[in-house]
Amino acid sequence: MNNFRKYAKYVVLTILFGMLIISFGLWGVGDMLRMGGRSVEVAHVGGTHIPLYGWVGGAPVTINEVREQFNRQLEAIQRQTGQRPEPEQALRYGLHVRALEEVIQRTVLDYAIQQFGLVVSDAEVRAAIARNPAFAGTGGAFDPLLYRNRLQQARISEAQYVIDVRREIAASQLFGVVRPEGLAPKSLRDDVFRMEGEKRVAQTVYVPDAIVTDVPKPTADQLNTYFEANKTRFQIPEFRAFSYVLLTVDDILPQITITPDQLKQEYAARAAQFGTPEKRDVDQAMTDSEDKAKAVIAGVKGGKSLEDAAKEVLDTTDGVIKLGTVTKKDLPPGPLADGVFGIPEGVAPAPIQSPLGWHVVRVNKIEPGTSQSFDEVKDKLEAELKAQQAPDVLIKLVTDFERLLSKTQSLKAAAEDLGLKVKTYENVDSRGQDASGKQVVIGAAAAELVQAAFSTRESAESELLETQKGEYFVVRTDRITPARVPALAEVEGKVTDAWQAEERRKLAEAKVKEAVEKANSGTDLATIAKDLGLEVRTTNAVTRFEADQGNYLNQTAVQALFKLEPGKTQSVRTGEGSVIVRLDKTEPVDLAKDKEAVDRFGKQLDTMVANDLILQLVSALRAKFGVTVDEPAFMAAFRPQQQ
C-alpha cells in the first residue's frame, strides 16, 4: 500500500500549491535564464479583454512569477539528483510549461478567494506562523529570531511569506466544505487494499550479456553500415574555452583586519558564552515570618536535620522543598539568588527574605563554573568577526568589480585593476569534462561556471552572476569548438566496441528467449540455470511497490512478476543483461486479520478522494473565471539566449 499511503500523506493544500509552511526546501532562488527587466504578463485569470486597451478586472500572471516557480523546480531536481539541469534540457522536458500551470492554478485560487470575499485577519496569520514548528525554539515556543533566520536562509521576504500563509488559511476556508470521512466506498477500499497488500515470491535467474564471449569483430562493411546508422552516438560534443573571475567570501577574508580592541570588546560582550555557570544543589524551607525561619536555623544549629527542624517549627512533614540543581539565573533575581549563591555548603546562617516570604536555604553541593580565557578564544572570535564583516566587504568588492567591468568592457582589465585573479579552462564540454571524459571543472561554482560559459556568445562576457552559495562570478567565453560528427577512422575503436556490444546483447537475448520458452514448456528453472552456468534464486515476498535487488528483482521485474500467472515465466531487460522471472508463490491479504490496517487505509483513501474532489473544484473555478494564455509572450520569455 506504499503508493496510496505516499499520496495520502499529503494534505489538501499541499497538493494544490505546495506552501512554504510545509517545506522551506522547495523554495529555490537560482536563475537559469536571463530575461529582460520588466515583468511581462503571460496569462490572465478572469476579467475582460478590450482590444487596444488591455484587461479590465481579473488577475494577471507575470513571467517573473513563472520564472520563480521554474527555478524552484530546478532547485528540487538538484537536491534530489545532485545535478542542476541545463536550461535547454529543462525546457525540453517542459518544466517551464509546468511552472506556468502551477502559477495559473495559484492565481485562480487567489482570484476565487477574492471573489468569494474570504478575509483572513492579521491575527489569524500571526497565530498560524506562531504555530509553525519550523519556527519553534527551545521549549517549543515561537522564536522570532529563528523565524527571521529561516526566512533569510530560504531567501524569502517576510512580506511574501505572510502572503503565502494568508492564502493557505483562506484556501482552507474555501475548500473546508469537502469532508473526507466516508468518501471512498467500502468495496473500493477492500479491493485496493487487497491489490496493494498482495505479496509474491519469485524464482529469478540473471543472464548477463557477458555470458556470450565469442563475438567476432565486424567486417569493414558491417562497421561502416553500423557507423552510418548510428553517427549521432559518436558525435564529438561542443567544447568551449572560457576564463572567469570568481569572488567568494573566502577570497576576501585575508583582507579583513580585526584589531585587538575589537577582540577584547567582543570577548567582554560575550563572556557568558565562554564558560559554564556555577551550579548548586539547593533545598529550602519557607516560612511567613522571620522568627519562624530563625527558629528553624536554631534547630539545625542544635544538631537537627533541616527536615526535622522544619517539621518541628512549621508543624508539617513536607516543609523542605527540593529545588534541585540550579544556576543563579534560574532563581528570581535579587536577595534570594544573591543569598543562595553567596553562602558555602550547608544551611545558611541567616534566613533570606524575598517577595515570596522567608527562606531557610541548604546548599547540598556546589559545582564551580568554568571559563575560557581571552587567549583561548581570541582566534575563534577573530574568525567569527571576520565572517560577520565578510559579506559586506564582498558586496563592496562585487560592486566595484561590476562598475569597472561596465567601464572597461574587459574582464581582464577589471580584474587587474582590483588585483583579482582570472582563471581559465581549455576545451570542456557542457558537463565540464575534457575530450577524454575527465571531469576538469571542479570546486566552487563548477556547475554554474560551465552553465554560464555555454550560455554566452563567443568572445563575449556574461553578466555578473550569483551562485546559490552567495558567490559572484563573470565568465568570458573565449573560444567555441562546434560539435561535429567525426570520420569513422577517428572513432573506429569505439564503433567496433559498440557493434560487438550490440551483437553480444542480441546473442544473449536469444539465449534468454530460448530459456523462457523452455521454462513455460515445463522445464525446471534450476535445470535451465545450470545449463547456462548460472544460479537460480528465490526472492523475498514483495508487494507490487517493493523490490528485492539482492535477488535481481528490480521494480521493472516486480511489475512483470505481478502480471504472471502461477508457474509462468517472463524475462525483463535490466542493465547489461536480462532477468528471468518465474512466479513461485502468491500471498494474498487477509482482510479480517488486518482489520486495523484496512481501517487506516480507508481513511487515507478517503483523503485521496477528497483531494481529487478539490482538484476538480479548482478546475471548475478555472473554467468559471476563464484563463487566457499569451503563448507568444510566454515562449519568447523562455527562449534560450542566442549565441
Domain at 562, CATH number: 3.10.50.40
Instruction: Identify whether residues 45 and 161 lie together within a single domain.
Output: yes
- The answer to whether residue 265 is domain-embedded is no
C-alpha cell at 409: 568592457
pLDDT at 22 over 50: no
Mean pLDDT of the chain: 85
Q: Can you name the residues that pair with 628 across neighbouring β-strands?
A: 44
For the chain, the domain total comes to 4
How would residue 27 be classed by pLDDT, with cut points 50, 70 and 90?
very low
Residue 366's pLDDT is what? 93
Within this chain, do residues 82 and 132 fall inside the same structural domain, yes or no?
Answer: yes
Average pLDDT over residues 483-504: 93
Q: Give tens-digit pLDDT for 279-304.
A: 999 999 989 899 999 999 999 899 99
Whether pLDDT at 480 is above 90: yes
Indicate if 174 and 206 belong to the same structural domain. no
**Per-residue pLDDT reduced to its tens digit, 414-451:** 999 888 999 999 999 999 999 888 999 998 789 899 99
Element spanning 429, H or E: none
Assign residue 43 the CATH number of its domain: 1.10.4030
In a domain, residue 357? The reply is yes
Residue by residue, DSSP assigns 275-309 as: EE--EEEEEEEEESSHHHHHHHHHHHHTT--HHHH
pLDDT the model gives residue 567:
86
Q: What is the pLDDT of residues 323-371, one digit of tens each?
A: 889 998 888 888 989 999 999 999 999 999 988 889 999 999 999 988 8
Mark whether 165 and 26 lie in a shared domain. Answer: yes
Separation of alpha carbons 169 and 13, rounded Å: 9
The CA radius of gyration of the chain, in Å to the nearest whole number, is: 36
CA 510 to chain centre: 45
Task: Answer whether residue 557 shows pLDDT above 90.
Answer: yes
Predicted local distance difference test score (pLDDT) of residue 181: 77
Q: Has residue 605 been placed in a domain? A: no
pLDDT-derived band at 238, boundaries 50, 70, 90: very high
Tens digit of pLDDT for each residue in 153-187? Answer: 666 778 888 888 998 888 888 887 777 777 888 88
More confident residue, 469 or 367: 367
How many whole angstroms separate alpha carbon 249 and alpha carbon 257? 14
574 has which bridge partners?
Answer: 577
Q: Is 475 helix (H, G, I), strand (E, B) or coil?
A: strand
Residue 458 lies in a domain: yes
Name the more confident of 517 and 638: 517
426 and 571 co-located in one domain: no
Q: Assign 39 a pLDDT band (cuts: 50, 70, 90).
A: low
Residues 433 and 499 in one domain: no
pTM for the full predicted model? 0.51
Give the model's pLDDT for residue 20. 35
Is residue 222 included in any domain, yes or no? yes
CATH number at residue 460: 3.10.50
pLDDT in tens, 361-394: 999 999 998 888 888 888 888 888 888 888 888 8
* Per-residue cell: 555: 521494480
Residues 20, 67 share a domain: yes
Which has the minimum average pLDDT: 266-280, 409-423, 448-462? Answer: 266-280
Last residue of a domain, one of 371, 393, 410: 371
Answer yes or no: do 575 and 428 share one domain. no
Same domain, 333 and 366: yes
Q: Is residue 106 domain-resident?
A: yes
- On whether residue 607 sits in a domain, the answer given is no
Q: How far apart, in whole angstroms, are the C-alpha atoms of residue 11 and residue 7? A: 9
Same domain, 35 and 62: yes
Other CB atoms within 10 A of residue 273 CB: 9
State which of 328, 343, 371 marks the end of a domain. 371
Tell me, yes or no, whether 80 and 166 share the same domain: yes
Q: What is the pLDDT at residue 386?
A: 85
Expressed as residue numbers, the domain containing 361 is 275-371
Cα separation of 292 and 309, whole Å?
A: 10
Q: Are 98 and 211 members of one domain? A: no
Contact 133, 150 (CB under 8 A): no
Burial degree of 227 (CB within 10 A; 0-12, 13-18, 19+): buried
The 10s digit of each residue's pLDDT in 109-168 is: 999 888 988 888 999 989 999 888 888 876 678 888 788 878 876 667 788 888 889 988
Res 153: pLDDT:
66
- Residue 526 pLDDT level (bands cut at 50, 70, 90): very high
Which of 371, 396, 424 is a domain's end point? 371
The mean per-residue pLDDT over the stretch 577-602 comes to 89
418 assigned to some structural domain: yes
Beta strands in 493-563 (DSSP E): 537-538
